[in-house]
């Protein structure tokens, strides 16, 4: 959908349009502004807002704007006419007015109707949709078309596709810098975490349209993992405030896995994920189980250090039941201001398999497993040191090796989701 507004004023109305734009800067600054040459210059000088300037009206500026309207790029035209004086380029003016009629584009020709357009804009939300076209196994073009079809009657979408050069995180930062009031992320957990990471602490509501392999974040927060359901959740408008976290400076929404999980994620590479979907993780997990060894682990919380021989250390902010290694407490609470830490210390492969099954079972019944080889705790922050150093995976991406310093950011994210009902364990 277009997000451009065209601004034009005849000479004796130029002061009016500058005053009008100045009075409505907060709302108009959310849109791309285009204007005829002199009008654009006056608005830029008078308000500091960026304006893309066409030719001056008599030289064809009205005609250029008419072309933009005709090609569907313009959401509204504000054209303060001077009806008391004849203009040399009257045919161009009439052509622009006619094109607005033909294309049913809101057109204000005086200050009263310009105010009406601003009132309309106030009721329209603009959503920055950050869309990863290579996530998951669906047809990205069809997915995007469906999202637009479902959301656009109520939310004007500013669509930005991720590319190898333009990361989801960069796009999210740009959206925030442009004053986004609503950011939507569509892709796998990597895309969603990257966008969420940039949004932490801004208070900007985040919509999640999961199209990935595991979609752990959506599942953890009870957000539907089909496009239609996800869009309905966004349109319903209910938001939840959940915790976020940082691991060695990297934003973390779901969990940090140290040891087993990091190795497993590395095995379940992009190619395997495209071929086997979520099964890739299980295949990789079984392969990994054959090779994995325990490592010496130090956990430091508020100056107190404890030592373990661990196979996996998982520090979770939010996690679905299928994030087996995070389930030391039977469920991960995303709204308690604390991280859920699970340390698995199996000494044989059989114990490891048993421990994983046990953890999965406890997540399903939301009770902590009672096993001597699983330790669990909740804390706001901790430091994990291992010998030898272990890889760390944060929200599905390897970010480096231990030591890992992880801190919860209570209430760091506002997401569109139904209220989360947590049971206290």
DSSP code, position 101: H
- The correct pick among 10, 13, 24, 156 for binding ligand 13P (CB under 6 A) is 10
Q: Which residues lie closer than 8 Å to 250 by C-beta, 6 or more apart?
A: 197, 394, 399
| Nearest approach, Cβ of residue 227 and ligand 13P (Å) | 43
Give the binding-site size for ligand 13P (rule: CB under 6 A). 13
Binding residues for substrate: 10, 14, 36-39, 56-57, 89
- The correct pick among 8, 363, 374, 415 for binding ligand 13P (CB under 6 A) is 8
| Nearest approach, Cβ of residue 13 and ligand 13P (Å) | 9
Contact 185, 209 (CB under 8 A): yes
**Per CB under 6 A, 6 contacts ligand 13P:** no
d(CA 290, CA 286): 7
| Nearest approach, Cβ of residue 39 and ligand 13P (Å) | 3
DSSP code, position 105: -
Which two structure tokens, joined as six digits, stand for 363?
A: 């997540």
Neighbours of 2 (CB within 10 A): 17
Which two structure tokens, joined as six digits, stand for 372?
A: 């001597």
Site string for ligand 13P, 19-38 (x = CB under 6 A): -----------------xxx
| Nearest approach, Cβ of residue 72 and ligand 13P (Å) | 21
Q: Which residue is nearest to ligand 13P (CB)?
A: 57
Q: Which C-beta is closer to ligand 13P: that of 57 or that of 197? A: 57
Beta-bridge mates of residue 115: none
| Nearest approach, Cβ of residue 22 and ligand 13P (Å) | 17
* DSSP assignment of 153-182: TTEEEEEEE--SSS-HHHHHHHHHHTT-S-
Contact 66, 95 (CB under 8 A): yes
Q: Find the binding residues for ligand 13P in span 56-85 (CB under 6 A).
A: 56-58, 61-62
Contact 312, 325 (CB under 8 A): yes
Q: Is the dihedral of CA 308, 313, 317, 319 positive or negative?
A: negative
| Nearest approach, Cβ of residue 96 and ligand 13P (Å) | 8
DSSP code, position 326: G
Q: Which stretch binds ligand 13P (CB under 6 A): 54-62, 276-284, 331-339, 371-379?
A: 54-62
Q: Which C-beta is closer to ligand 13P: that of 15 or that of 181? A: 15
**Per CB under 6 A, 93 contacts ligand 13P:** yes
- The correct pick among 4, 28, 33, 39 for binding ligand 13P (CB under 6 A) is 39
Q: Which C-beta is closer to ligand 13P: that of 46 or that of 133? A: 46
**Per CB under 6 A, 288 contacts ligand 13P:** no
Catalytic residue numbers read 62
Binding residues: 10, 14, 36-39, 56-57, 89
Q: Which C-beta is closer to ligand 13P: that of 61 or that of 330? A: 61
Q: Which residues lie closer than 8 Å to 390 by C-beta, 6 or more apart?
A: 258, 259, 262, 295, 401, 402
Burial class (CB in 10 A: 0-12, 13-18, 19+), 343: buried
d(CA 374, CA 235): 41
**What are the residues binding ligand 13P (CB under 6 A)?**
8, 10, 36-39, 56-58, 61-62, 87, 93
């Amino acid at each position: 959908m277009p997000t451009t507004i065209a601004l034009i004023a005849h000479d004796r109305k130029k002061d009016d349009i500058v005053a009008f734009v100045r009075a409505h800067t907060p709302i108009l600054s959310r849109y791309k502004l285009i204007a005829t040459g002199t009008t654009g210059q006056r608005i830029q000088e008078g308000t500091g807002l960026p304006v893309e300037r066409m030719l001056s009206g008599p030289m064809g500026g009205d005609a250029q704007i008419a072309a933009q309207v005709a090609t569907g790029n313009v959401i509204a035209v504000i054209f303060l006419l001077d009806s008391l004086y004849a203009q040399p380029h009257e045919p161009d003016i009439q052509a622009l007015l006619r094109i607005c009629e033909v294309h049913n584009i809101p057109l204000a020709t005086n200050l009263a109707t310009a105010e009406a357009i601003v009132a309309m804009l106030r009721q329209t939300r603009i959503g920055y949709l950050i869309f990863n076209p290579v996530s998951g196994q669906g047809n990205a073009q069809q997915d995007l078309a469906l999202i637009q079809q479902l959301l656009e009657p109520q939310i004007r979408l500013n669509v930005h596709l991720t590319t190898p050069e333009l990361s989801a995180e960069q796009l999210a930062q740009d959206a925030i810098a442009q004053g986004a009031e609503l950011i939507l992320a569509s892709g796998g957990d990597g895309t969603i975490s990257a966008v969420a990471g940039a949004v932490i602490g801004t208070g900007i509501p985040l919509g999640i349209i999961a199209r990935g392999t595991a979609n752990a974040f959506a599942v953890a927060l009870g957000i539907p993992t089909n496009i239609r359901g996800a869009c309905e959740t966004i349109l319903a408008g209910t938001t939840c405030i959940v915790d976020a976290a940082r691991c060695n400076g990297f934003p973390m929404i779901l969990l940090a896995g140290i040891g087993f999980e990091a190795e497993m994620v590395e095995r379940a590479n992009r190619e395997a994920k495209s071929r086997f979907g979520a099964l890739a993780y299980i295949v990789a997990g079984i392969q990994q189980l054959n090779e994995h060894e325990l490592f010496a682990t130090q956990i430091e919380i508020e100056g107190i250090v404890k030592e373990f021989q661990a196979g996996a250390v998982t520090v979770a902010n939010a996690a679905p039941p299928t994030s087996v290694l995070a389930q030391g407490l039977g469920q991960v609470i995303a709204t308690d201001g604390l991280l859920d830490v699970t340390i698995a210390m199996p000494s044989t492969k059989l114990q490891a398999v048993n421990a994983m099954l046990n953890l999965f079972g406890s997540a399903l019944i939301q009770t902590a497993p009672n096993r001597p080889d699983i330790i669990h705790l909740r804390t706001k922050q901790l430091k994990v040191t291992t010998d030898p150093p272990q890889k760390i995976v944060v929200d599905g991406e390897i970010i480096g090796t231990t030591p890992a310093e992880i801190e919860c950011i209570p209430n760091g994210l506002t997401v569109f989701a139904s209220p989360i009902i947590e049971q206290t364990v």
